[in-house]
Amino acid sequence: LAKTTQLVAERGWAGVAVTGAPMQVQNKDLPERLRAATGVPVTTALESSTAALRALSAERALVMTPFDASMNALVGEYLKGAGIDAVFPETALGTGPGALALSADEVYELAKGALMAASDVEAIYFQGARLNPLGCLERMEADFSVPIVASNPAMLWNLLSLLGEHRPSGVGGRLLRDWPALVDA
């Protein structure tokens, strides 16, 4: 907290993004403490991703993570509190290095299998950079006919939106391409 506040002051940061869902679910008051201490917009991976799901009108999402079942339960609790019905694959990927080793095709197939097993979801949400969907995000959206929210692009979209910026991109899926407006919770 002290270091972030110092860097905001020294470097003139306009906002702060806290990566990592585990950081937030294990330190629930961190975003508010950072907002109070820094005076700039602050977002987190979970806040950004739930904002993105709301902006894309998704109330029920398949949640893909590189976490174990206990961390997934905490993420699920957060999402439920934010009004998102979270559906997790039957088998948690776990916290080992396995997610980092997955190719884009393997991430695609993992998501495809989980989507086929899930019922009636309106989006797929990837939380955790170790399970990286960016190499196949556009293909998944086209083939699965649902928006894909990945936590890192969601943080970019959310923080820039909080700062009043509108910067659509030709890459990054529907969220970054369409750049929907933030929706109040």
Taking residue 80's Cβ as centre, other Cβ atoms within 10 Å add up to 11
Q: What is the pTM of this model?
A: 0.93
Separation CA 137–CA 91 (nearest Å): 22
Decide if 67 contacts 95 (C-beta within 8 A).
Answer: yes
Token pair, residue 17, equals 């993004």
What pLDDT, on a 0 to 100 scale, did the predictor assign at position 99?
76
Separation CA 131–CA 129 (nearest Å): 5
pLDDT one digit per residue (tens) for the chain, 185 residues:
899 999 999 999 999 999 989 889 999 999 999 999 999 999 999 999 999 999 999 999 999 999 888 999 999 999 999 999 999 998 766 555 677 778 899 999 999 999 999 989 999 999 988 888 999 999 999 999 999 999 999 999 999 999 999 999 988 899 999 999 999 86
Taking only the tens place, the pLDDT of each residue in 120-140 is: 999 999 998 888 899 999 999
What pLDDT, on a 0 to 100 scale, did the predictor assign at position 100?
76
Q: Which CATH code for domain 2-178?
A: 3.40.50.12500
Tell how strand 123-126 and strand 85-87 pair up. unpaired
Indicate the domain borders of the chain.
Answer: 2-178
